[in-house]
Amino acid sequence: MDSVFESDAEALWQDALDLLVEQHISEPLAAMLRSCTPKSLEDGTLTITTSMRLVQKTVLKNSSTIENCLSQAAFENIALEVELDDSKPRQAPQQAAPEPQRDDDLWDHLPQREPEVRKNPLVEPVTDNDSRLTFERFIQGDENVFAYQAALQVAEGVNKQAYNPLFIYGKSGLGKTHLLRAIQNYIAQNDPSRLCVYKDASTFMSEYVSAMQNRDRGDFKALETNYHGIDVLIIDDIQTFLNKTSTITFFFDLFNYLSSAGKQIVLAADRSPAQLGMGKSGFDERITSRLGSGFSISIQVPSYELKLLLIQAFYTRQKEDALVTHIPYMDGTIDGDSLKFMAEHAGSNIRDIEGFVQSCLIMASRREKDGEQLTHEDIMRIADEKWPMSKKQVTVAQIQRLVETYYDVSHIDLIGDKRNKELMEPRHIAIWLSRELTDSTLADIGKRFGGRSHATIKHSISWVEKQKKEDKTFYDQITRIHDTIVEST
């Protein structure tokens, strides 16, 4: 490729990305676009490449929006082509060099050298429970497949520059920890020469505090040295660092050191980097810009299709595991129609879904012992016990307080007349939630939101419904707020 074309292609692509970000495209789409590589700019066509089919499919689906920004940046019409580049070889796990062949019979009796693995006290053995969290056992759907592929590339040591740091976010119980542990397990199994450390944020913070308390005897220096010696750092639930100034400073210094040394960093949180910077207690811009400087991708709440895949997989695995370990009352049969019914009535937390399947399987086993079958009524009773939303009493005031906290807006602004975007979105969402979670009429809701009319309240509800269908990131966000309200009631 001509170097001039390459330079022009890169410059145009970066300008177009800036314009797209200004248009507030979704973070998953922005992450996908940043992972693409501009290849050439020839005859009014910009060609970019990607190694992932999902990226190619998603970018092409949004090609009209992207081409519009390309044309704005180039001051002429520019078409977009997206090529799939599967020529990049995946790095094989590092292996010790083979010993040379010898004819001497004594060679067979000499002790063989084991591959040398560096020791670091931060690298802990994987527990039996965590060892089950592998890529093979991760159930993929449209809501999580891109995060899965990014995590797998990190585990394989592929495309380090584009995926460093890798930041995975989403509400609790959607599989973030599974992917982080899968990276750890993959490296431990296939490439133990790479020192990989997994820490949840609470443990990371506790170890730091303990080291600082014993700083005089060298504990802090030892902790810092050990972290500097690793190759892959994985930290889960980093939102726990909010308001922990000293821990944040230590983490930020460690982040910068590992990044400059070309080491891999993987982080997970319940919010995006930008959302972690919202509010008076949020991270400052210096932190959030670094957190989002690599590849940020969300895991979204499961759709009906993914819930069905999860339920089918959990059902099969639980029966197989029970057979091997001789667990009683786990040998029942749940037919396909009942599995679909379970998916229709399951919540969004994957850990809860797994427990839901287990309860249904136990019930099915007991029914069969009595010569009966699992019924839809049985499934509904178990679902109501697992997700008793109908029994929750939620008020408009509770919804307003939570939305105000989430978006860092005042109550006066939320119910007031200001119409800037920073206030309109939380106002629409609070109104929609009030309709969803309370028995209030549209007129009652209007009174609680500054005396708004029936038509205005209907407009807010319609706006949210439209955004939910068109923007999966928005859908994930509003579902997280919805579930937080219900769970805290």
Q: Which two tokens mark 166?
A: 């890798």
Which residue has better confidence, 279 or 68? 68
Residues 272 and 311 in one domain: no
Answer whether residue 169 is part of any domain.
yes
Per-residue pLDDT for 224 more than 70? yes
Tell me whether residue 265 is in a domain: yes
Pair 327, 286 in one domain:
no
How many structural domains is the chain composed of?
4
Rounded to an integer, the average pLDDT of 268-294 is 84
**Sheet containing 37-42: which strands, arranged edge to edge?**
37-42, 45-50, 79-84
Report residue 398 as tokens: 């509770």
Tokens 């800037």 -> residue: 420
Pairing of strands 295-298, 79-84: unpaired
Burial class of 216 by CB neighbour count within 10 A (0 to 12, 13 to 18, 19+): exposed
Distance CA 286, CA 289 (A): 6
The pair of three-digit structure tokens given for residue 308, joined into one six-digit string: 């069905």
Shared-domain flag, residues 310 and 275: no
Query: How far is residue 178's CA from residue 74's CA, in Å, rounded to a whole number?
Result: 43
Domain assignment of residue 436, yes or no: yes
In the numeric block, the tokens 């309240």 are attached to 457
- How big is the chain, counted in residues? 489
Predicted local confidence at residue 418, as pLDDT: 87
| Claim to verify: residue 257 and residue 186 sit in the same structural domain | yes
Cis peptide before 165 (omega within 30 of 0): yes
Cα–Cα distance between 66 and 46 in angstroms, integer? 11
Q: Are 258 and 265 in contact (CB under 8 A)?
A: yes
Judge if 33 and 134 occupy the same domain: no
Q: Average pLDDT of 335-347?
A: 92
Specify the pLDDT at position 312.
95
Q: Tokens 């965590």 — which residue? A: 130
Query: Which CATH number do you get for residue 12?
Result: 3.30.300.180
Residue 419, domain CATH? 1.10.1750.10
| pLDDT in the model for residue 476 | 73
Kindly report which listed range (74-88, 92-106, 305-319, 389-403) carries the lowest average pLDDT score: 92-106
Q: Could you tell me if 410 and 450 are in contact, meaning their C-beta atoms sit under 8 angstroms apart? A: no
Q: Are residues 40 and 71 in the same domain?
A: yes
User: Cα(466)–Cα(112) distance, rounded to whole angstroms?
Assistant: 66
Dist CA 156 CA 270 (whole Å) = 25
Half-sphere exposure of 16 (CA within 13 A, CB side): 29
To which residue do tokens 């099915």 refer? Answer: 364
Angle, alpha carbons 93-83-470 (nearest 5°): 100
Give dist(CA 434, CA 400) in Å, integer. Answer: 9
Is residue 177 domain-shared with residue 274, that is, in the same domain?
A: yes
Query: Any idea which of 129-133, 177-181, 391-395 has the lowest mean pLDDT?
Result: 391-395
Residue 338 burial (CB count, 10 A): 20
For the chain, the C-alpha Rg in angstroms (whole number) is 26
339, 445: one domain: no
Residue 28 has pLDDT above 80, yes or no: no
Same domain, 288 and 330: no
| Residue 223, beta-bridge partner list | none
Provide φ and ψ at 46, rounded to 5°.
-95, 125
pLDDT tens track for 141-190: 878 888 998 999 999 887 677 788 999 998 888 999 999 999 999 999 88
- CATH number of the CATH domain containing 151: 3.40.50.300
- Listed residues 328, 356, 387: the one ending a domain: 387
Looking at residue 392, what is its pLDDT?
Answer: 55
Q: Are 318 and 353 in contact (CB under 8 A)?
A: no
Picking from 151, 173, 179, 144, the residue whose alpha carbon sits closest to that of residue 300 is: 144
Give the per-residue pLDDT at 99.
Answer: 41
Domain termination residue (choose one: 347, 367, 387):
387
My answer on whether 135 and 278 are in the same domain is yes
Q: How confident is the model at residue 207 (pLDDT cuts 50, 70, 90)?
A: very high
Q: Which of 104, 94, 319 is nearest to 187 (CA)?
A: 94
The residue type at 53:
R
How many angstroms separate the CA atoms of 166 and 189, rounded?
A: 21
Residues 6+ apart with CB under 8 A from 235: 199, 200, 201, 204, 251, 266, 267, 268
* Average confidence (pLDDT) over 288-295: 88
Domain with 376, as residue range(s), is: 304-387
Q: 472 near 300, Cβ under 8 Å?
A: yes
How is 198-230 classified by DSSP, letter by letter? EEEHHHHHHHHHHHHHTGGGTHHHHHHHHHHT-
Q: What is the pLDDT of residue 391?
A: 46
CA dihedral 461, 464, 468, 472 (to 10 degrees): -160
Answer yes or no: is 373 within a domain. Answer: yes
Q: How far is CA 402 from CA 76, 87, 129, 407, in A?
A: 47, 49, 35, 9
Q: Which residues pair with 297 in a beta bridge?
A: 168
Is the pLDDT reported for residue 427 higher than 60? yes
Rounded Cα distance between 354 and 133, Å, is 14
pLDDT tens digit sequence for 51-107: 777 678 888 888 999 999 999 999 999 999 999 876 544 333 333 334 434 444 444
Residue 91 lies in a domain: no
Mean per-residue pLDDT of the chain:
85
Burial 407-443, CB ≥16 within 10 A → b, else e: bebeeebbbeeeeeeebebbbbbbbbbbbebbebebe
CA distances from 441 to 72, 295, 389 (A): 46, 43, 19
Q: What Å distances lie between residue 461 and 24, 338, 360, 431, 450, CA to CA? A: 21, 33, 36, 7, 16
Both 189 and 236 in one domain: the answer is yes
Please give the Cα distance from 289 to 287 (Å, whole number). 6
Confidence (pLDDT) at 117? 57
Of 412, 315, 295, 282, which Cα lies nearest the Cα of 55?
Answer: 295
Q: Are residues 365 and 400 located together in one domain of the fold? A: no
pLDDT for residue 479: 80
